[in-house]
Structure 1
Amino acid sequence: MTDREMKRFPNHKFGQAFTTLKCECLSYLPWLEKRLRAVGGQIIREKVTDLHKLALNYDAIMNCSGLGSRFLVNDEEVYPVRGQMLKVSAPWLKNFIRDGDGNTYIYPGIRYVSIGGTRQANDWRLEVDEEDSEGILERCCRLEPSLRAAQVMGEWVGLRPSRANPRVERQYLHVQGRQVPLVHNHGHGSCGVTLSWGTALDALELLRQSLFEKPPQARL
């Protein structure tokens, strides 16, 4: 950023400006679901607590259970990183602003502006923390003073399924004389959308290798 541009941020020594894409999952995920159904895919909603039981009815399993992998497959390396953000009405904002530590950001969207946030490791709370909200507003208003006039539309809390390294690997479940391939694809933390297509392709290749090396056996 130029010296003139940096005058907007007197508490910072340097900055970078670039053009990028913003993916809004409220629209993106329904679009993905529509694509799946268009090619004959099905979505079945049920609680899964035992993959060996699930394997009785399927030839292969892809585990994308996020934080649930800590309990479903005993992956103790998975842990939550709590994130809290606010949705505000500030249609005059057209450019995003993000502090270097990643804990303070302002992301304009189609319906509202997302401001945040928090990165609280091993924090399982899903309730809104008022002190966190006050801190978010204070930090974001320092970056963009016009936000003081913005109306808060809502508050949101989520848990990022984090891991030192995303787990993309395969193993086999031994069920009634069959070896059912199990491919793991979880632990992406806050980079889930960013990494999703790449790790999905890697996981798909692992599944193809498994089915080629050990074709499915008949289920009796």
Structure 2
Amino acid sequence: MKSIEVVVVGGGVVGFSTAVCIAEALPSCSVTLVAEKFSPDTTSDGAAGLLFAAKFPDIPLERQRRWFRDSFDHLLAIAQSQHSPEAGVMLSSGWQIFKEVPAEKKPFWSELVIGFRFMSDRELNQFPDHKFGHAFTTIKCECPTYLPWLEKRFRKAGGQVQQRKVSSLEELSSSYDIIVNCSGLGSKTLVDDSQVYPVRGQVLKLEAPWLQHFIRAGDGMTYIYPGIHGVTVGGTRQEGDWRLQVDEGDTKSILERCSRLVPSLSRAKVLSQWVGLRPSRRNPRVERELVQLQGHRVPVVHNYGHGGWGVTLAWGTALDALGLVRQCLHETHLHAKL
């Protein structure tokens, strides 16, 4: 009896989350993950990895809430298990601060994190330029640790991993029954999606073990995220900018902005600097289609375009992608092969 061959394209947090979901839930499928780059060389590896979200304009809020909740619950279970240090997943408490009171005081995810409340005046006193804020506990997921842990989990579920560049879906269609596209920014060329664009992000890692709480400016431009090995500070949000080299002007700006919020950071040692391109899109694309490839129709499931919210939404959209793979199996009668 021949198993169904599924290929997942993409080795970042969305690709590996999706591959794990499929391999663990559908043992009748043989799942292969193919990517050009793996940790520590993926965009996910530089992500600060703190869970909260922005709203996408055209996706039902209930679906976005489900993506967030599924990811949060999945990572919370890891944070509370013995796997926490090995997976690089931990709880993190802190503040999101605003110079003006936002139109929407309570974000849609406020009930899904832990202990969400508005900041007290006493807490806000430490940020004199800010008038309003949220205090809550969320999860920090450190991808340089989490991705190898996911890969191990994927292999344990029988998954196989190949390192190579995929230039077209055609080159996969003769070997695989279902293609799952988690290629992020690569989808611009792989599936010719002109809606995908890079948003350049630059971050620094500092040695500041005295810092315990995250701080994020409401506009998302300035943030300080303590982690297991150092404090990630940022950032930049440069749309359509493909530069991957460190920009000294950005470094200076990041250090100045973060030190204004936390003066002691001016004494911190810079451990490393990193630049990545967020795979952005007006809305993430989580859907399926039948694509004509080499004379036959192949089911393709897409899961990409998360922008700066890849870590936050990866497990939730992976579960959606799993549901779409199940539909493909059902509707194209691929299970007749089993």
* TM-score band w.r.t. shorter chain: over 0.9
Q: Identity of aligned pairs, percent? A: 65
Choose the corresponding residue for 1:139, options 218, 234, 257: 257
**Structure 2 counterpart of 1:76, one-letter code:** S
Look up the match of 2:47. none
Look up the match of 1:167. 285
Structure 1 residue 170, shift from structure 2 partner: 1.0
Pair 1:196-2:314 in alignment: yes
SS in 1 for 2:232: strand
Choose the corresponding residue for 2:178, options 60, 83, 87: 60
SS in 1 for 2:318: helix
Q: Distance in 2 between matches of 1:58 and 1:5?
A: 55
Q: Distance in 1 between matches of 2:206 and 2:236?
A: 17
SS in 2 for 1:75: coil
**Structure 2 counterpart of 1:198, one-letter code:** G
Q: Deviations over 1:82-137 (max 9, x none)?
A: 00010000000000111111100000001110000001111100000000000000
Larger RCO: 1 or 2 (CA < 8 Å, sep 6+): 2
Look up the match of 1:73. 191
Matches within 5 A, 1:28-47: 28-47=146-165
**Structure 2 counterpart of 1:209, one-letter code:** Q
**Structure 2 counterpart of 1:144, one-letter code:** V
**Residues 148 and 180 of structure 1: is their aligned pair in 2 closer, same or farther, counting only changes over 3 Å?**
same
**Residues 108 and 143 of structure 1: is their aligned pair in 2 closer, same or farther, counting only changes over 3 Å?**
same
Q: Deviations over 1:2-59 (max 9, x none)?
A: 2222111111112221111111111111111010011111101111111022111111
Look up the match of 2:247. 129
SS in 1 for 2:162: coil
Do 1:52 and 1:173's aligned partners in 2 also have CA atoms closer than 8 Å? Answer: no
Q: Deviations over 1:144-187 (max 9, x none)?
A: 00001100011100000000010011112334553211111100
Do 2:198 and 2:279's aligned partners in 1 also have CA atoms closer than 8 Å? Answer: yes
Do 1:108 and 1:114's aligned partners in 2 also have CA atoms closer than 8 Å? Answer: yes
**Residues 10 and 175 of structure 1: is their aligned pair in 2 closer, same or farther, counting only changes over 3 Å?**
closer
**Residues 217 and 172 of structure 1: is their aligned pair in 2 closer, same or farther, counting only changes over 3 Å?**
farther
Q: TM-score, normalised by structure 1?
A: 0.95
Choose the corresponding residue for 1:184, options 297, 302, 306: 302
Q: Distance in 2 between matches of 1:175 and 1:212?
A: 20
Q: Distance in 2 between matches of 1:156 and 1:177?
A: 44
Choose the corresponding residue for 1:8, options 122, 126, 131: 126
Pair 1:112-2:225 in alignment: no
Do 2:170 and 2:294's aligned partners in 1 also have CA atoms closer than 8 Å? Answer: no
Q: Distance in 2 between matches of 1:19 and 1:99?
A: 16
Q: TM-score, normalised by structure 2?
A: 0.63
Q: Distance in 2 between matches of 1:182 and 1:97?
A: 40
Structure 1 residue 140, shift from structure 2 partner: 0.1
Q: Distance in 1 between matches of 2:138 and 2:171?
A: 44
SS in 2 for 1:97: strand
Do 2:329 and 2:335's aligned partners in 1 also have CA atoms closer than 8 Å? Answer: no
Q: Distance in 1 between matches of 2:305 and 2:312?
A: 13
Structure 1 residue 217, shift from structure 2 partner: 9.8
**Residues 217 and 7 of structure 1: is their aligned pair in 2 closer, same or farther, counting only changes over 3 Å?**
closer
Look up the match of 2:325. 207
Greater strand share, structure number: 2
Structure 2 residue runs of 5 or longer lacking an equivalent are 1-118
